[in-house]
Amino acid sequence: MTEDQKPVTEADLHAYVDGFLDAERRQAVERWLNDHPQEADEVRHWQAQAADLQAAFSGYAQPEDNDGRLLSRARTAPPPSTVWRRSALIAASLLLFVSGAAAGIYGERFINEPGSMQTTADSLPGQSKTAFLVYASEKRHPVEVGADQQEHLVTWLGKRLDYKLVAPDLTSLGFSLVGGRLLPVNGKAGAMLMYQDAAGQRLTVLLGKNPENAETSFRFQSAGTLETFYWIDGSIGYAVTGEVSRAKLQEIAEECYRQFET
């Protein structure tokens, strides 16, 4: 059976994005994508997401003396049938470590090392940007629980945060709730709510525990086209991230603040 005759699987598509296919299989996948525009569009989203993540965290990647030896071993390694599994696991592990270490979500053990102390206010905007980059471009599974189960969503996430959570109503500002998910923030249970406007533009609201019980006024951070407004209020830290104008995002953040406080 030739490479063109083999069915193209989702594993092939991920391996294609990650650069793990040999030249013959890559060309076969590219020909298949030319005939399947919907899947080709999905692959382009994955590639854009990978590029965004690489750009966001490239400053944290440092070369090691044994990198050449590791690459040499990889070239002589496993058969194609297992490469995608191993590459997926390696990629997931590296992403977890790099993004976690950079943004502070790798766990309390890491952030509590002497000399590595990070407050919630320090780490929150980076974690919010990471969550946005990972999930906002996801088409099929951007959230764990959809807006059609909003009551269950806020009850579930609120229990994990030990906080009476509400999902702010942002319809007056042009954004409707997509849903939300549980995710780690500083090694503890955190929550992410996602919103979308009529054009498909998304933004995220991240909530994490604030063990310092500190308070801050509104602050912002920019990273390319990404804007994040964040604040700390009592036991919870909040961050709103999106690729919208700073003025628009501040308006949204202030509306979230108002509704979280009521």
pLDDT at 212: 76
- 123 with 245, same domain: the answer is yes
Report whether pLDDT(155) > 50: yes
- 130 with 97, same domain: the answer is no
- Classify residue 109: in a domain, yes or no: no
- 138 with 232, same domain: the answer is yes
- 99 with 123, same domain: the answer is no
- 92 with 135, same domain: the answer is no
Residue 119's pLDDT band (boundaries 50, 70, 90)?
A: low
* Domain boundaries, position 57: 10-103
Task: Give the CATH number of the domain where residue 242 resides.
Answer: 3.30.200.100
Report whether pLDDT(65) > 70: no
Helix-strand-coil percent breakdown of the chain, rounded to 5?
A: 50, 20, 30
Interatomic CA distance for residues 139 and 202, integer angstroms: 11
First-to-final CA distance of the chain: 65
- 37 with 127, same domain: the answer is no
Residue 107's pLDDT band (boundaries 50, 70, 90)?
A: very low
- Classify residue 3: in a domain, yes or no: no
- Classify residue 112: in a domain, yes or no: no
Percent of the chain with pLDDT over 90: 37
Residue in the block written with tokens 């109503």 = 169
- 149 with 229, same domain: the answer is yes
**Domain termination residue (choose one: 51, 76, 103):** 103
Q: Give the three-class secondary structure for 262.
A: coil
The number of folded domains in the chain is 2
- 211 with 250, same domain: the answer is yes
